[in-house]
Amino acid sequence: MLKKFINVKFSLLEEFFPYFYVVIENYNIEGIEELFDEIIVCFQIDNWNDKIKFELLSALRKYIPEVKIISEEIIEDRNWNEEIEQNTPIIKINDKIGIAPQWKIEQLDTEIKIIINPKMSFGTGQHSTTKLVCLLLAKNVHSGDFWIDAGTGTGVLAILAKKLGASKVYAFDYGEWSVLNARENFMLNDIDGEYIIEQQDIFEINLPSCDGIVANMFLNILEKTIDKFHSALKERRGHLILSGILKYDKDYLIGKYCQNYFEHIETLEEDEWVAIHLRAK
């Protein structure tokens, strides 16, 4: 017999997607799809009922008060793997850098090819913030550098830093699922040399001295980590690349970082998102 599934569509702002993933990884789901300010989660019909709905929404609203379910669509079984393979795009950041799933990697004509298979971690290359940070990394990672990827998600930015010549990277994320996914992607990309990927809380970790930090995170986190980032970067006058920020908040955040500890180098924009390059004083 064919299985029945249900697609549950959630409404929430994109900047809260990582919080959503931290919660949803505790549930038995079949797949997930990102849209603009919406996420569709697929459950087997037997794994979705009013009790689960209430528990899930209650858990989500601890982090995302405005989240809500806007539709529930029952669907019949079909070849999900084939649909994923057909619908997952190739991302060409520029002529040098491209991101693709494993089954499309040979279609990339870029010098640097990064394999990222779609899973429940942020950073497949489709989002503007990932693209913008990749462009800034390409300008600022040098051979022999040590870079930190704070909130690594899929690990794509740490992988790119290694492929750009960094001799060492340290990547961490709060979510267990992201850490497992990042480790898998490092292996898929045959990353060698020195690297560490682990589960850590940004507010508890002591960061080592390094040449650069990339942090694609929320504004409310980034405005509280100025001292922590500066402490790790000041010895080498290192680079700091921040993203996950809407363009409406860029002046506020740049102002906070540049009050005492950093100088502003460059800001890139795409759609409503920005990536900011700073340097430690």
For residue 122, the model assigns a pLDDT of 60
Nearest to 232 by CA among 257, 213, 208: 208
The interaxial angle of helices 176-188 and 156-163, nearest 10 deg, is 30
pLDDT tens, residue by residue, 184-233: 999 999 998 899 999 999 999 999 999 999 999 988 899 999 999 999 99
For residue 85, the model assigns a pLDDT of 59
pLDDT tens, residue by residue, 240-259: 999 998 899 999 999 999 99
pLDDT > 80? residue 118: no
- The partner residues of 170 in beta bridges, in order of sequence, read 148, 196
pLDDT band with cut points at 50, 70 and 90 for residue 121: low
Evaluate whether 133 touches 241 at the Cβ level (below 8 Å): yes
Tell me how far apart the 2 most distant CA atoms of the chain are, in Å: 65
Q: Half-sphere exposure of 75 toward its Cβ, with a 13 Å CA cutoff? A: 16
End-to-end CA distance of the chain: 65
Q: If you average pLDDT over every residue of the chain, what do you get?
A: 91
Rounded Cα distance between 48 and 55, Å, is 11
Domains defined for the chain, CATH in brackets: 4-83 (3.30.70.100), 88-280 (3.40.50.150)
For residue 82, the model assigns a pLDDT of 60
Residue 122, Cα to own-chain centre: how many angstroms? 3
pLDDT > 90? residue 133: yes
pLDDT band with cut points at 50, 70 and 90 for residue 18: confident
